[in-house]
Structure 1
Amino acid sequence: IWVCACSTGQEAYSIAIVVNECLKNAGKNIEVKIFATDIDEKSIEIASKNQYPKSIKKEIPTKLFKKYFVEDGNHLSVLPEIRKQVVFAKHDVSKSPPFIKNDMVTCRNMLIYVNTVLQDKILSTFHFSLNPDGYLFLGSSETAHGIKQGLTEISSKWKIFKKSGVINYATFNTYNTQGRVVQADKKKTLSPEAPLTSVEKSFNKFITNDLGYVGVFIDKMYTIQEAVGNYRQFLELPDTKIELNILKMVPKPVSIVLNTALRKSWKELKTVHLTRIRSKKNGEDVYLNISIQPPNEDHPFTMIVFGESMTEIVAENEDHNLSMLAETHHGEYVFELEAELNETRTNLQMAVEEMETTNEELQSSNEELLSANEELQSSNEELQSLNEELHTLNTEHQLKIKELVE
């Protein structure tokens, strides 16, 4: 589930509680993961802390409050099992790539603050991010009229829609995130770019839609800044933590080769091509062609183009010769592994030395404790001896007193 414009988190936690109630009533045990996003970083920080004033208690049904909330000093918090189901992240839905493969997307009372063009773009992004038959939940004053051909209205009162058809994402500029605007040097005067001709638009559409090529733009931290094309056929979100790191959104074998190629491209400032890189798609082996173009004066980001290699007929006796890595990159791949291995060995050696030092300190502390224990035992024996002497002296005093009384 993707909760867009989650503000300080109340909506995300409420949805998590409702989903858990529904699953328990249905007797089902299904893993639930909720991505809650907002453009305001301070709101995300508040939501992540999971601490709300006690005044919200009156807004929560008593039954649900007793079941899902705990009091922590002057604050109220949802139970840890609910908190673990929700992941909060800063995200701009109008610019950043969406979260994909969702069964439900909610965005309540945010679209009313943007213009119609941006509304349609955001709605098409939600449609793109939903699984087939997934649900879209909007605010009471909002509508999905702009993409009505791709949705079926389930409830006009509660603004619940179901993904039931396809839409032309190119019409809404869905794929092009246009996430960053780079300011030109004030000293340079740039002439405006001429708009694309119909032929150029047709060619671009053919490349992305028909041939299935995907362009991804990243910075030097491997973070995706822009994307063009249906990138979810090659990229997936990590299972645990939400990140837009390109190396964590591709399979591990592809990630290793891609990392090596990126470093080479940045170092030599040349375009690098990877051919027939083996990957998995729907459980089957596929081969990818990847091209990397380093940053230049026209664009500050690194462009990575993914494309599926055309199927080729390969003789059975040649099948064993196909390597997961391209032959030309094998040496770099081995070098990368050796570097990581050396780093691991160094870290391990440092850890061993630290453990040895800690062990010596513990032994020294143990000897001091043993010495202190012996001193305490000696002191205890002296106290026992003194106690016996006092007991004897007390007996003698009692006898003297008795004699004096008589």
Structure 2
Amino acid sequence: MDRPEENDPEFEALIAFVQESRGVDFRGYKRTSLRRRMTLRLNELGLDSFAAYYSFLEAHPQEFTNLLNTVLINVTSFFRDPEAWDALRRQVVPAIIGHNREREIRLWSVGCASGQEAYSLAMALAEPLGIGEFCRRVKIYATDLDEPALEVARHATYTLREVESVPPELLDKYFERVNYHYVFHRELRKCVIFGRHNVVRDAPISRIELLLCRNLLIYLETETQNIVLPRLHYALKDHGYLFLGRAETQLARSRLFQSVDMRSRIFMKVPQEWRRTPAGGLVIREEELPGESSRQIQIQDAIANSSTIAYLAINAEGRLVFANPAARRMLDVGEADLGRPFQDLPISYRPTELRSRIEEAQQQARPIKIENQEWPRGGGESLRLSIEVTPIFGRDNKPFITLVAFSDSTQMFQLQQELEAAQESLETTVEELQSANEELETTNEELQSTNEELETTNEELQSTNEELETINEELRSSNEELEAANEELRSRSEEFAQYRRYVESVLGSFDAGVIVLDQYGTAQFWNRWCENVFGLRSDEVVQRSFFDLDIGLPVHKLREPFERVAKGQETFSRINLQGIDRRGRNIQCAIRISPLVPDSKSSTGTLLIIEDLSDIVRNEEFTQYLGRIIGESLNEVYFLNPQSLQFTLVNQGAERKLGYRLAQLRYMSLADFMPFVSVDSLRSLAAPLLKQEKEEIVFETVLRPRTGQDYPAEICMQYFASEDPAILVAIVHDTVERQKVPAEPAASADRN
């Protein structure tokens, strides 16, 4: 079972068989999740292919139940995600009760599985309402695809483990213990209606105050989510609430819902200017007329949505307010176009100018019909449309709506052309027969027949001229499209040139060498750093082989790593080379070789980045040299913590003099070796340094090492506040054997 997940005919055949046999629609489910769960069932049965499982299902129909239990995810519990349920009780439940005083409250749990979620919702509302008021006003719809799970939900009987998440006070109040099981409250159970429902395919339940759809959307494809979300929006009343699972973030940027509590995934329906009919039509929301029944609205929606004629409606302000499904398919009108000015839409001027026709129809108060308008479609095909513009006036005799109907007259147009051709052929035949008859009669009649033939030829020429005009019009339209494409190409070319200048400016100011080579090693880019260091201008290098250049580096050593990277054998290569720059100085360079486009399957070029490490190497060598001198010095060098005055680092001379190793000294302070100076006195002495009032402090004292033999010493302290961390450095000189240089006599000095 190692064939690719996509376009697997055995897998698709199995899905189709399950859908046909049990009516379960898997078209919206993510194929990866569906395949993984079916594979689990195959492994349990020891089968090695989907074709074998297909045959097994045909021979064992009872296996369908096990398969659906595996595929349909029924992971649920009472009050799953307690924090989210607490937020629902605090923010949503009081609002729903307050908005619906004495009115029916309709709730819907989508994907209810074995019922725990629906019963959790019942308890959440029964608490503030009371059981009697709840039973009188609340109705909860709970739906799922899994019929065995619905059977469990209808029995409302759960084990001790399944009710562990129910708070003890609610468990005592709403459950009855029967033997080793817990049965949900019988009166509340009657208010929960369970049923099989496919939220993707079946019509949604309407006028819902709170809709729970937790952890269902994450198993659906993005396209299917885009179908389900408008259905959930349609099901909710205005300002109704939607409660999603913790892992579902599909509504973070949705225009259909606004966030009430994003952390708990609670959203509120945003009323739209348009409403979607169950069949997919779009219409601007209007105030309902007094006395108008919902049955009449359903009939009107059904007529508009099932019609093959595309209807658009434009209101008095010139905005598109309605587009039926046929219009969306035929004219490419979408949700985003509703509410926009009609004149801004392409359909207002293609296939013909409609704005002036709408004004004409409103002024003359009569329909205007436009025949045989060509409408290009994808794949080189085109339709012939008949367009009828009909003004509709309100009770005040002012224009209310303008209805534009587009009907497909392609077949009629073709039949008409065929009829005209047949008529022309028939006329030609009749004329030829008449001409032959007239030739037999008299020569005069022959001349008359010739004259008629000339007239026929003139008509043919006229028809040819009309065809040429049509071709000319098509060529003009093609020329306009080419001009638009050329303009777009010119705009992109300018953007590319600007981007190239930006990139060259950035790379030119880069404090490192940047070289771009093609797959053959030819230089394509050479930045300003390379010009300054190697002494070759960009125009002297570009389009030349990099490995033939004399730039002071042994570039031949780069050929092998370049070829490995170019062939995709390595993701990058790094090499250090010594060379001479254009001024004759020795330089140490670190060169990184990597693909120009990482993770590209084909070689598009190679990028070389060159860093000059000469100063870094010299600094490191000097630092090591200085460290050796200080470390081996006979003088004592202490690095102290500025606050505690404890040793953090000492040299070998300090270890020998004080009699302790560094590991021991880290737990001691300088004051521990100064028998005649207290810690506070030493801190007061160092305070001007720490306040940066002085650059250094020199003082004499007596130090007592581990041997107990005191010796006089001179200590020079400096504070380095800019280091990270800041450090206090003390250099100690043992003054026991300090010598003084004898001064020469003044007379001798004068003689000199």
Give the TM-score category using the shorter length.
0.3 to 0.5
TM-score, length of structure 1 as denominator length: 0.42
Q: Which structure has the larger Rg over C-alpha atoms?
A: 2
Higher relative contact order (CA 8 A, sep 6+): 1
TM-score, length of structure 2 as denominator length: 0.23
